[in-house]
Amino acid sequence: MRATLKINLYSIEVMEVFFSRFAFIFLIFTVVSSGYITEVLSCQIRNMFESSTYFRHIVGLLMVFVFIMLEGGWSFDKKEDDKASNDWSSGNVIHSLGIAALIYGMFIISSKSQFWPNIIFFALLFILYAINTQRNYYKAREMISEEANQKTIKVEYGIAGISLITLAYGFYDYIGYQKAQRGSGFNWTDFLLGAHKCAGSTTK
């Protein structure tokens, strides 16, 4: 019984960390949406952003990694994270790179979606982030009962589940949309890693 209880408590702690990291995709969306800041960069760097899709993805991955390291770095094993406090100079670089790759991969998948599934997905992520962060705030100050804490966690499970379903639906729907638009020119590499060609826009 004691061993079972320990496993259950540990799984709850793992899911609490998952909620925060899953909602991290919203931060990427916010930063990318303000990407016009690249206009202040040198012409050579701007040309690389405009001409090389892979360069943009590498910078995007590194951006996520830097944000994670500014948080102190993350580990796949929460017990290792709890052994000592970390900062940007002492975090787990290897695990943080792996987690950054997973988060950026989910962001790429989320970008392959039409307007409403995309907006709903990011709205759900923001709601998940807001609820989880506020719950942690109350919990750290003993302003929430354990019963209310557990109920809130269940709500977070529900929001996370709905957001994943929305993500999957948006991705599947967009595959069909792109195949219909491109016909025989549809290519999985271009679809996953290439830039969107928007109707009525001169940008790629």
Q: Taking the CB of residue 97, how many other CB atoms lie within 10 A of it?
A: 17
The pLDDT, as a whole number, for residue 57 is 86
Inside any domain, residue 200: no
Inside any domain, residue 201: no
The pLDDT, as a whole number, for residue 64 is 83
Inside any domain, residue 202: no
The pLDDT, as a whole number, for residue 161 is 93
Question: How many domains, the chain?
Answer: 1
Work out the pLDDT band at 79, boundaries 50, 70, 90: confident
The pLDDT, as a whole number, for residue 139 is 92
Range of the domain at 50: 2-193
The pLDDT, as a whole number, for residue 131 is 94
Q: What's the pTM?
A: 0.71
Inside any domain, residue 162: yes
Inside any domain, residue 69: yes
How much is the mean pLDDT over the chain? Answer: 80
Inside any domain, residue 199: no
pLDDT at residue 202 greater than cutoff 60 = no
Work out the pLDDT band at 48, boundaries 50, 70, 90: confident
Q: How is the chain classified by DSSP, letter by letter? A: -HHHHHHHHHHHHHHHHHHHHHTHHHHHHHHHHTGGGGGGS-HHHHHHHHH-HHHHHHHHHHHHHHHHHHTT---S-HHHHHHS---TTTS-HHHHHHHHHHHHHHHHHHHSS-HHHHHHHHHHHHHHHHHHHHHHHHHHTT-S-HHHHHHHHHHHHHHHHHHHHHHHHHHHHHHHHHHHHHGGG--HHHHHHSPP--TT-S--
Inside any domain, residue 180: yes
Average pLDDT over residues 29-35: 60
Inside any domain, residue 20: yes
pLDDT at residue 1 greater than cutoff 60 = no
pLDDT at residue 121 greater than cutoff 80 = yes
